[in-house]
Chain A
């Protein structure tokens, strides 16, 4: 009969095994805790973006403009969203509001939803159907685009919704697959610049000549890149028409 100690879960641990088990337990707990600490410390700060349910439902009126991603230029605001502001919109989940906004291009519309906010960037997640976006009475002022020239920028292409606060982190490689799915669902893409451009850190990014972000650019989402393109100011929003052929991944 072997004298080798044998562990049985519902019986007291045999003497010779106690030291071994105790050492393994301590090393395992300390090791896993240490590994968790190291991995957490290696992560980038996810930033301050968040859903602002504490603001309550926001309802404002403005002009719908397709850039081709729908933008609202506010004409009649409220306590938080002022006239003259321009912001992007999204639907619930990984969906944009293109199908609802397209019939209202250039018209006055009332939008209603919850704010996603990250610093200077904010967007509205609209309520479902006509409750979120519907035509409003009145004359729509004409929004004149202001060309700002061709720029070379460095930074990262993200999906606007997650970046603004729907996900944490809402940018970076860990978020790449989610960002691509959001963009495929027509959520507006946002370029985060390394340094402010004409006073703005966040720019709506599109393809050239009013087209959507080209599919070729999707491979570079969440990577740090440099690229060139024309910037146009629409309302108080900067729109960067990225030239995909000029994209270069930085070190």
Chain B
């Protein structure tokens, strides 16, 4: 399996799991952890793309709230508290990607001249 195939397979797997999580969370889970959404359905399809992308976080938050493992306010604080770190890491990540991309970029092999290895039949 080459790198491209592995990347595509990883994305597909992530998306399939995300779709399953979205199906369960938006039909069952969201009603269990947020009483304000009970009876409201039109907005739920709008959440599908987001759940597809961050389904591990959705599962973790669902578990946190469902099991009441933290005080009410603390259930929301951890995510917000990590925003600053996430911003810094993502910024550094972008810079690292650009530098890595530029460092592995090929240079045009202008100094390699064409070489005739054998003559043609008509030459």
Contacts and interface: CB of A to CB of B under 8 A. Distances in A.
Interface of A: 39, 42, 146-155, 173, 193-197, 219, 223-224, 226, 228, 230-232, 249-251
B106 A149 contact: no
B119 A173 contact: no
B113 interface: yes
Contacts of B109: 154-155, 194, 224, 226, 250-251
Interface residues on B, range: 20 to 34
Interface string B76-120: 000000000000000000000010001001111111111111111
Contacts of B2: 219
B102 A42 contact: yes
Contacts of B107: 224, 251
A226 B112 contact: yes
Given A224-B106, A224-B109, A250-B106, A195 B114 contact: yes
Contacts of B98: 39
A232 B122 CA distance: 10
B67 interface: no
Given A146-B122, A149-B120, A149-B123, A173 B114 contact: no
Contact of A146 (B116, B118, B120): B120
A151 B110 contact: no
A150 B118 CA distance: 5
